[in-house]
Amino acid sequence: MAKQLKSKIISKKARVAVIGLGYVGLPLAVAFAQKGFKVLGIDTDAHRIDRIQNLKSYNADVSNATLSRIIRQGCFEVSLDFNLLEQADVVIICVPTPLKRRYTPDISFIVSAVRSVTKHLHKDMLVILESTTYPGTTDELITPELEKSGLKAGRDFHVAFSPERIDPGNKNFVVTKIPKVVGGLTEKCVELTSLLYGQIIKHVHPVSSCRAAEMTKLLENSFRIVNIGWINEVAKMCHALKIDVWEVIDAAKTKPFGFMPFYPGLGVGGHCIPEDPLYLYWKAKRYGFNSKFIKLSADINSDMPHYAVERLKEIVGPPFENSKILVLGVTYKKDVKDLRKSPSLKLIELLKKHAQVDYYDPLVPYVKLGGLDIQSIQLTPAMLKKYKVVVVAVDHSVVDYELIYRNSRLIFDTRNVYKNKKDKKVVKL
């Protein structure tokens, strides 16, 4: 039966279902549809389904024109109905994997999705998990759950893990240009999964097991959280030593080997970096291994908004209470409309305990999240003159930084956008 599925994949007659149409699932579903596969997108969010059916994308990596084209070609349909999974030859799960609390994974979305697949599992179906999770999830949780159908994994159906590597807003590395790591329950599972992704992605890298593939994703993101934590600590150290950390980084990166530049900031945001390494931390502890690097780095990064408040108190001087402060940028990274775990929002929450805080972000006209319900100001010379200090929290490309420089009294630059300004008006992180 695997030969039939292989033939369907090669001829692009395999029907691909993607569960979860967020930042990972939607671009992936679109990529398969653009290559001529019939793709079914399933999500529990009725608003997302409605937007797609009305040809209105909510994802910066997928244009309205692209949605319109693949839907009108009959290559892409979306639904809230999980019963449609029975029509699928391939099911790819791309659901969120948040934390229940600081160091405990929440895999309830994965469990829910897998249970829905189990109800409609049939012989020769290929089930792939892309959601980031701890090593062992595919073998220890997903496979036994799917086998409750009465079918045997590796014999009657196929199971694999292939970690998502989406970088939202990165035009240089869209989903089809990022090499794909694939681990499967059996060699046949790996072969079929590699063949599938090979239809849309040039480089597919198979590994020996699902656990190795799961670990690969966590190594990638743990590498980043550790290095970001380290450079944030270096920034604090350099401030204490009265050294410009940005100058030091620029000097160090002239070395053509053995160094990779990372840059300090207000911490880390989005879903991947703040949470994924903690899945590994949690799993390792269950095996009696305490990952000191991951926890220390997470703690350093989480502390950066608090550190920024202390620096602002130092920069502004007394009286700090009720000072008017403007925060530039509220997204978790530049040029992306994404507020998930944004350190800027944490900074605003902390500052509001002491000061009058506004924000400006050309990508986000208002924020209604957590305890915040605020609107972006209009960026004008007159408005800028009202603030005691302007904090550059996110370095969006479309912001007029020269306008800000000319009309601000004081700037706290956490992103080094004013690297060529040497006067006392600009204070760097």
> What mean pLDDT value characterizes the chain?
95
Q: Helices 46-53 & 64-72, crossing angle to 10 degrees?
A: 80
pLDDT recorded at residue 38:
98
Domain positions in the chain are: 2-208, 224-428
pLDDT recorded at residue 170:
84
* Tokens of residue 137, six digits: 């999830």
- Would you state the torsion angle of the CA atoms of residues 169, 171, 172, 177, taken in this order, to the nearest 10 degrees? 90
**pLDDT tens, residue by residue, 113-131:** 999 999 999 999 999 999 9
CA–CA dist 388, 374 (Å, integer):
19
Q: Is the pLDDT of residue 369 over 70?
A: yes
Q: Is the pLDDT of residue 350 over 70?
A: yes
CA–CA dist 363, 338 (Å, integer):
9
Please report which helix (H) or strand (E) contains residue 327, including its range.
strand 324-328
Q: Are 139 and 215 in contact (CB under 8 A)?
A: no
Q: Are 409 and 388 in contact (CB under 8 A)?
A: yes
pLDDT recorded at residue 1:
66
Examine domains 2-208 and 224-428 and report if their fold is the same.
Answer: yes
Q: Are 162 and 130 in contact (CB under 8 A)?
A: yes
Q: Is the pLDDT of residue 32 over 80?
A: yes
Q: Is the pLDDT of residue 73 over 80?
A: yes
CATH number of the 2-208 domain: 3.40.50.720
Angle formed at CA 318 by CA 316 and CA 322, multiple of 5 degrees: 80
Which whole-number Å values give the CA distances from 394 to 227, 338, 398, in the listed order? Answer: 19, 12, 11
**pLDDT tens, residue by residue, 395-406:** 999 999 999 999
Let me know if 238 is a catalytic residue: no
Given the candidates 3.40.50.300, 3.40.50.720, 3.40.640.10, 3.60.10.10, the CATH classification of the domain at 224-428 is 3.40.50.720
